[in-house]
Structure 1
Amino acid sequence: MKTIGNFIKACPRAFLFTALFPFIASHSAALATKFVPANHPHIQYWGRWDLSDSLHAKHSWPGVALYAEFSGTSIGVRMADNGNYYNVYLDGTLHHIFHGTAAEESDYLLVDSLKAGKHTLLLTKRNCAQNKIYSFSGFLLDEGAQLLPPASAMKTHKIEFIGDSFTVAEGNEATVLSMPWEETFPVTNLDKGFAVIVARHFNAQYHITARSGIGMVTDWSGDHTLNMPDRFDRALMDAPEPKWDFQRWAPELVVICLGLNDYSGLKDQAGNVSGENSTLYRKRYHEFLATIRRAYPGVNILAGMMSVSLASAIFILRSSIIFRMDMWRTDIPMWPHMKKLRGN
């Protein structure tokens, strides 16, 4: 178990912000007093959000973001979330990392002392928290300020990334090799993960349908209830209802990066995967591909491992052709554990 000293050493920026933030938040009401509700038409929601309650937008999948353009000298946020960390981009530049301090709905100041005029705000969730639902209720502006119509439309290209901790970039800013899972939250930055890098490269919208530790059949510990096919149709990662409306957002490309946790969960003590489990894995994978095709008719699918996904996804969109990696072919180099999963 890491000591607090080790935690500070591993993520000094996140710790410093967490330590100072209660002071900043306590002044939010005085600095930003006009409330703009979550259903305002000028707010852009990126990623999988549950908008069934238009005044309290809920989320739990990673990769969600909020974008708004506003007038005035400050902006704050009203949300119920003390589990996630957010990158705050002001006028296109990273301003700071934000972390809420209360599980219940609370007001927070994000930025103040701005030059009067038009500004942009992008709030992106950095990490992947589990088994909780978080909500956003609206923005806080100066009296007399307002949200403005976005200057440009949403990006045209769309990519969905389906995966595990590699897809969510878990711990990618850590300076130590291992730490308790909760301590990875401040040092996870999805904006620097391969999924967002690919999307940014092609100026594409993205959805991150991923969960740390999950697999196609089982999670890393062998829990068969924690698999991606059973969660793919959910608006909220760990809640069976409501279902996600696949008509809301249809990608051109789906990138699947699953298998590492299946090997961990399906292997025996000697590190071998039985023929029965190998068959189960292959069957579940093909069934999931069929599910994706039903959800997104005609979509391009890249099914592979984390190590090939970045280069392959770039190749697909750049060359405008469909590239299929058949994970059961014997002439394609594969990691040893993937050979065991496929049964040879």
Structure 2
Amino acid sequence: MTASLCALGLSISTTARAAALGNGSVTDPNIAYTGRWDLGSATAAVPNWTGGYLQTAFTGTTVKIKAREAVNFYASVDGGADVFYAGVRGTVNLTPTPLPQGNHTLRVSYRSGDTVFQGLVLDSGAGTVAPRVPSGLIEFVGDSITAGALTDRLALDSYGWKTGEQLGMRHTQIARSGYCLVGKGGCVGLASQFFKTASTGDQNWDFSRYQASAVVINLGTNDIGHGVTGTEFQSAYTTLLRDIRAKYPNAALFAVQTLKKRYVAETKAAVSARNGAGDAKVSYVDTSGWLTDGTDYEDGNGAWSGSSPS
């Protein structure tokens, strides 16, 4: 997949904004949010869906985060390992051993969407600095495998997160366990929910917040258990590709063959339909041979457990 994405000429450059020292608040312009964050409150930012994260740089020797009760997250300081904070609450010190004086970087990553970020606490006289962030962004759309279900670190162990990290790009996961392409038989359909702010609810997402460089869609594993016919699946997939294109005019769209090889012909046909309609930046990704049943899966539906495919 990495090679395919690079072949489409996706940008992997980084950018930094020129700004004064910030105060670490939720509305601090030096904090870069990646994912579908609800930023409607000045005191609490909510990362919807899964795998949302924030990045910033800061001066001083320590950094603390203000967390809601029983929050789970990972924090990486100065590009170090992601340290897991489980069930923490209040003001959490991310640097129990003070850092050297100077500029430092911070990334805070959330395992799942149901949590709240309430700001940072810095040394007296210190502040945030605009971080360097990749200009390109990949959006991964799917079910449990894309959400990283059953893996040790959930979103951070998913193929989407790992692929984005290897490419040096920002990445989002519009995914949830059990979700389908088609909303039928009690299954939530991403053909419509993709366009919402969160994995539940009817609030429409504001696509002007960011533009994806690429969208990788891995859907169809669960539809077969909800009575979705091939005709229904192909029609919904074709419509989804069309509707995503309307939101992301310049993105490369990748329709991934499900690892359980379900609705393969219909997925290919949906891509062909969009190509025939003049959309040359829609591609089918053949995953044959990528993984092996019984050794590479975390569950019977293909929840992937290895490193990201190259």
1:51 aligns with 2:39: yes
- Matched residue SS, 2:163: helix
Shift of 1:95: 5.0
* Residue in 1 that maps onto 2:107: 122
Structure 2 gaps, min length 5: 1-22, 261-279, 290-310
> How far apart are the structure 2 equivalents of 1:136 and 1:57?
5
1:82 aligns with 2:70: yes
Deviations 1:214-251 (A, max 9, x none): 011148xx414x1112321222221322x211122111
Shift of 1:55: 3.0
> How far apart are the structure 2 equivalents of 1:190 and 1:69?
23
Is the contact between residue 255 and residue 282 of structure 2 (CA under 8 Å) also seen in structure 1?
no
* Residue in 2 that maps onto 1:36: 24
Is the contact between residue 218 and residue 261 of structure 1 (CA under 8 Å) also seen in structure 2?
no
Shift of 1:325: 1.9
1:70 aligns with 2:58: yes
Deviations 1:107-149 (A, max 9, x none): 22222222332221111123x35xxx43212101222322123
Structure 1 gaps, min length 5: 1-34, 173-186, 267-272, 309-320, 334-344
1:99 aligns with 2:86: yes
Shift of 1:188: 2.9
* Range with bigger deviation, 69-78 or 257-266: 69-78
Deviations 1:273-293 (A, max 9, x none): 6xxx33222222222111111
> How far apart are the structure 1 equivalents of 2:282 and 2:239?
19
Residue identity in the other structure for 1:293: R
Residue identity in the other structure for 2:243: T
- Structure 1-normalised TM-score? 0.65
Residue identity in the other structure for 1:256: I
Q: Which has the higher helix share?
A: 1
- Matched residue SS, 1:77: strand
Question: Given the superposition, is the C-alpha separation of residues 236 and 95 from structure 1 closer, same or farther in structure 2, using an over 3 Å criterion?
Answer: closer
* Residue in 1 that maps onto 2:294: none
1:231 aligns with 2:193: yes
| Fraction of identical pairs, as percent | 26
> How far apart are the structure 2 equivalents of 1:218 and 1:167?
18
> How far apart are the structure 1 equivalents of 2:82 and 2:254?
35
Shift of 1:162: 0.5
Residue identity in the other structure for 1:258: L
1:296 aligns with 2:248: yes
> How far apart are the structure 2 equivalents of 1:125 and 1:305?
28
> How far apart are the structure 1 equivalents of 2:68 and 2:257?
35
* Residue in 2 that maps onto 1:60: 48
Question: Given the superposition, is the C-alpha separation of residues 250 and 81 from structure 1 closer, same or farther in structure 2, using an over 3 Å criterion?
Answer: farther
Tell me which of 268, 283, 286 is aligned to 2:235: 283
* Residue in 2 that maps onto 1:244: 205
Compute the RMSD of aligned alpha carbons: 2.9
Q: How does 1:147-186 map to 2 (within 5 A)?
A: 147-150=128-131, 152=132, 154-172=133-151
Is the contact between residue 160 and residue 209 of structure 1 (CA under 8 Å) also seen in structure 2?
yes
Residue identity in the other structure for 2:128: L
1:140 aligns with 2:146: no
- Matched residue SS, 1:94: coil
Question: Given the superposition, is the C-alpha separation of residues 290 and 322 from structure 1 closer, same or farther in structure 2, using an over 3 Å criterion?
Answer: closer
Is the contact between residue 77 and residue 110 of structure 1 (CA under 8 Å) also seen in structure 2?
yes
> How far apart are the structure 1 equivalents of 2:148 and 2:82?
21
* Residue in 2 that maps onto 1:265: 226
How many pairs were matched up? 249
Residue identity in the other structure for 1:197: K
* Residue in 2 that maps onto 1:176: none
Is the contact between residue 47 and residue 53 of structure 2 (CA under 8 Å) also seen in structure 1?
no
* Range with bigger deviation, 38-47 or 92-101: 92-101
- Matched residue SS, 2:231: helix
* Residue in 1 that maps onto 2:171: 206
- Matched residue SS, 1:100: strand
Shift of 1:256: 0.4
Q: How does 1:208-223 map to 2 (within 5 A)?
A: 208-218=173-183, 222-223=185-186
Shift of 1:76: 1.5
* Range with bigger deviation, 60-69 or 137-146: 137-146
> How far apart are the structure 2 equivalents of 1:70 and 1:326?
40
> How far apart are the structure 2 equivalents of 1:326 and 1:96?
34
> How far apart are the structure 1 equivalents of 2:138 and 2:25?
29
Residue identity in the other structure for 2:200: D
- Structure 2-normalised TM-score? 0.71
Residue identity in the other structure for 1:124: S
- Matched residue SS, 2:160: helix
Is the contact between residue 168 and residue 190 of structure 1 (CA under 8 Å) also seen in structure 2?
yes
Question: Given the superposition, is the C-alpha separation of residues 115 and 158 from structure 1 closer, same or farther in structure 2, using an over 3 Å criterion?
Answer: closer
Is the contact between residue 71 and residue 116 of structure 1 (CA under 8 Å) also seen in structure 2?
no
